[in-house]
Structure 1
Amino acid sequence: MRFNSLSNSNSNSNSNSNTPPSEPDETLTLDRNSPILVAQDYTLLVSDQVLTVILSNLAKSQQLSSCLVCKRWLKISGGLVKSLRLLDWDFLDSGRLGFRFPNLIDVDIVQACIISPRNSGICLSNKFVSIHVNSFISDNECVWKPDFLSTRAVDRGVRILAQCCPNLRRLVLCGVSVEGLVSIANECLALQELELCSCTDLDLKGLAGFRNLQILKLIGSVNGLYDSVISDIGLTILAQVCPRLLKLELVGCEGSYDGIKAIGQCCQMMEELTLCDHKLEGGWLAALSYCTNLKTLKFQSCKFIDPNPGPSEHLGSCPTLEELYLERCQLRDKQGLGALFLVCEAVRDLVFADCWGLDNNAFSAASVCRRVASLSLEGCSLLTMDGFEPVVHSWKEVKRLKVVACNNIKDSAMSPELATLFSLLKELKWRPDSKSILSSGLEGTGVWQRGGRSFKI
């Protein structure tokens, strides 16, 4: 902006000069009788499509700042948001969510469904949510549990969400009923991934309207949060209404042989099954043989595999299984673990991560899996070289090996045959004992004589 001179003494002398006059839209006059002209917004010359491309290339922190420029930038930046975790239920119930973020494809409303004080400084964290709690706990309450919105309120909010965001691909719900699921199925035709928390067996009937649903996660009971039950009834309903599932994850769900068998018979396209902290009854492992196209089987935070698997001749097998993951599981039940290896004898990739109770006897049962090509061991401190080496030698097709933080597997106990096998592998990560690696790395440096107790291992 240019400022006009307050004196007009030179105005007549400069009137015949060749200097072009300044443009009026860039001039700010200080004359009392003249209006104040504001500088032109040149971003108005840029179309919304071009401005969208420009803002989409900014970092997320810069996108948040750009929405404060003007209403136009606010609307465009809101259209760039694809994923959202809702924290304030009123923002959804008032209809502002769809107006502010019209192009959402991934929404999580679990946090907003929990009634918690906003001014509390105490935060209760769970692997699913983090909520604020009051410091006051009555004498009769030994364990604090949060309050949730009513099912009626959740269904109303879900109905609003379905109408304002019809292009949803992924959705995480909590406490929704059949009516809420039906409204989502009718409006969000492209929904492919769904996660349900705090629902009952009969609520799963609302899944019948989802035509393109491929990934489903059911969270039954969560310690300290809620105690809903998913049993064989719900698993059977699920199998009948969702025959096109590709991935299924069951968290804290109950059930038995009948429920898993129904899923295997009806969901013939299912390729991945994940069980987290399951409460399945004994004998359910035999039902895995009905999952004829299962390729990946995962166990996470499970206290047991199968307390009573039954005779081995009745277990069957999964001929198409390629990957078996056991993460943070208790493997003290040798009978259940041995039955699992019999069912998964065709597995190619075997992963153990931070599993308790995996000793030499338990690991020896894995030798029945003759086709293992990749093994990963991490955090298995009870396993020694005496139990590790015979099993690895029994696998003739092993090509990849990873051993990390298994402190009882010592380099000094390695045989020449195992060293020869390592030289033939395509991929090897060998860090079983960090102390031995540190010792060999500092050998010959004289650190041990200088450090005394400080460098003693």
Structure 2
Amino acid sequence: MRSSSLSNSNPNTPPSEPDETLELIPDYISLINDQILSTILSNLNKNQLVSVSLVSKRLLRVSGGLVKSLKLLDWDFLDSGRLGFRFPSLLDVDIVQACIISPRNSGICLSNRFVSIHVNSVVAYEMGEMGGSGVVSNPDFLNARVIDRGVRVLAQMCVDLRRAVLLGVSYEGLVGVANECLALQELELCLCNDLDLKGLSGFRNLQILKLIGYVDGLYDNVISDIGLTILAQGCPRLLKLELVGCEGSYDGIKAIGQCCQMMEELTLCDHRLEGGWLAALSYCTNLKTLKFQSCKFIDPSPGPDEHLGSCPMLEELHLERCQLRDKQGLGALFFVCEAVRELVFKDCWGLDNNSFMAASICRRVMSLSLEGCSLLTMDGFDPIVLSWKELKRLKVISCNNIKDSAMTAELATLFTVLKELKWRPDSKSILSSGLEGTGIWQKGGRSFKI
């Protein structure tokens, strides 16, 4: 930056030499060391930090050191080694998007729970008398050798990684990451097969693992009992495990329970486990949280109750967007989870009065959450809730067949002693007006949300 002073205001006078009329203003940023400058830049938001990084090479370098999490979109940026130089302090990297070969300038985007990709004119719709249909072919991915080479570059440049989301990495690639990133604690794997999971044994501090097997519309890899057993033997220190679209059976879940004795949380999403697998949950002796998400069934043939066992340490059971029409499988699940303290149902299909009645075996429930369960009525809700003598928290939202008009005096009395109540079964609920004058709305009273 510089300022000029004109010695003569006459326009006909020739200008003086630049070195005589121009004075350089000092670069004050150069007087600040990198540590202080980094502290200053850390107070900027993401958009401001991007703008500041364009001012100079030094600000680009310092601002890059502040970036801890990154979702990679351009594979060449990683393969060339520029990612490590540009962002030397990364702790969290997601490379899935960059591994998918797709047209970047396409205006058509395909999204699911795990990834969003751009597609070309493969999508076609036939309207009119021919009916309507849309078909999207599975996308292409980078070659496994290319991905392994890039992952090794990533591991060598970002040795402090704590979390990584990888796609299409083989056994060799996983070994390379394990040897370099000794502090890695959380890993998400997509598009891998059973034998690739042998590379997990090299991760000494891995505590959280998400394994994504089959994904409809994206890829159809199979993770079977072989892969689950290899996983269990290679990751004995796991605390949380999430299995998405994985196959397997009793043997695979049993191996996980026997080897991963520290595991406290298990999530099953769209699982394809064979009948009888529920009995293996009893081997997960320290399991505290069990979650089902988008599952079409629980267990098609769980077997007799005397063979199921139980999870004595289980505290939470979550079922979200699951089909619960199979009464036998749901009843077996409640039998295994009879010690549960918190029950959560959200947008589950098939949860009616008969299905909910099976939850009466769980006698220690302290917290119940029901959301989007439209088949359940007060006839099935009332007796089960009243049977739970330790119930302290209740949440009922968008359960349209649970009516205030069918509420019993016993249930209304229970509401007055709960620590937390959120009651909004439908838009016509009049419970809030009925509670006026009871004193529960006064300052210092219990927490109620209507």
Fold-level match, TM-score > 0.5? yes
| Pair 1:415-2:400 in alignment | no
Give the 3 Å change call, closer, same or farther, for CA 369–32 of structure 1 in structure 2. same
- Report the Cα distance in structure 2 between the residues aligned to 1:136 and 1:320, rounded to whole angstroms: 50
Following superposition, the deviation at residue 134 of structure 1 comes to 1.0
Q: Is the 8 A contact 1:305 1:337 kept in 2?
A: yes
Matches within 5 A, 1:11-410: 31-32=16-17, 34=19, 36-136=22-122, 142-410=135-403
Following superposition, the deviation at residue 396 of structure 1 comes to 0.7
Pick which of 59-68 and 357-366 moved more: 59-68
Gaps of 5+ in 2: 10-14, 126-133, 435-450
- Report the Cα distance in structure 2 between the residues aligned to 1:63 and 1:109, rounded to whole angstroms: 22
Following superposition, the deviation at residue 440 of structure 1 comes to 6.5
Following superposition, the deviation at residue 215 of structure 1 comes to 0.3
- Report the Cα distance in structure 2 between the residues aligned to 1:136 and 1:239, rounded to whole angstroms: 40
Pick which of 330-339 and 43-52 moved more: 43-52
Pick which of 352-361 and 123-132 moved more: 123-132
Matched AA of 1:90: D
Matched AA of 1:271: E
Deviations along 1:201-242, whole A, 9 cap, x unmatched?
A: 000000110000000000000000001000000001111111
Following superposition, the deviation at residue 64 of structure 1 comes to 1.2
- Secondary structure of the equivalent of 2:151? helix
- Secondary structure of the equivalent of 1:436? coil
- Secondary structure of the equivalent of 1:90? helix
After TM superposition, the score normalised by the length of structure 2 is 0.91
Matches within 5 A, 1:427-446: 427-437=420-430
- Report the Cα distance in structure 2 between the residues aligned to 1:104 and 1:354, rounded to whole angstroms: 37
Q: Is the 8 A contact 1:114 1:146 kept in 2?
A: yes
Deviations along 1:322-345, whole A, 9 cap, x unmatched?
A: 000000000000000000000000
Matched AA of 1:97: L
Which has the greater radius of gyration? 1
Deviations along 1:368-405, whole A, 9 cap, x unmatched?
A: 00000000000000000000000001111000000000
Matched AA of 1:307: P
Give the 3 Å change call, closer, same or farther, for CA 313–179 of structure 1 in structure 2. same
Give the 3 Å change call, closer, same or farther, for CA 6–285 of structure 1 in structure 2. same
- Secondary structure of the equivalent of 1:227? coil
- Report the Cα distance in structure 2 between the residues aligned to 1:4 and 1:312, rounded to whole angstroms: 94
Q: Is the 8 A contact 1:110 1:173 kept in 2?
A: yes
Q: Is the 8 A contact 1:347 1:369 kept in 2?
A: yes
Following superposition, the deviation at residue 116 of structure 1 comes to 0.2
Q: Is the 8 A contact 2:3 2:24 kept in 1?
A: no
After TM superposition, the score normalised by the length of structure 1 is 0.89
Identity %: 79
Give the 3 Å change call, closer, same or farther, for CA 33–341 of structure 1 in structure 2. closer
- Secondary structure of the equivalent of 2:370? strand
CA RMSD of aligned residues (A): 2.0
- Report the Cα distance in structure 1 between the residues aligned to 2:124 and 2:69, rounded to whole angstroms: 39
Q: Is the 8 A contact 1:431 1:437 kept in 2?
A: no
Following superposition, the deviation at residue 38 of structure 1 comes to 2.5
Following superposition, the deviation at residue 39 of structure 1 comes to 1.4
- Report the Cα distance in structure 2 between the residues aligned to 1:217 and 1:33, rounded to whole angstroms: 64
Q: Is the 8 A contact 2:109 2:119 kept in 1?
A: yes
- Report the Cα distance in structure 2 between the residues aligned to 1:82 and 1:5, rounded to whole angstroms: 50
- Secondary structure of the equivalent of 1:34? helix
Gaps of 5+ in 1: 9-29, 442-457
Following superposition, the deviation at residue 435 of structure 1 comes to 2.4
Q: Is the 8 A contact 1:288 1:318 kept in 2?
A: yes
Q: Is the 8 A contact 2:122 2:135 kept in 1?
A: no
**Alignment size in residue pairs:** 421
- Secondary structure of the equivalent of 1:429? strand
Matched AA of 2:384: V
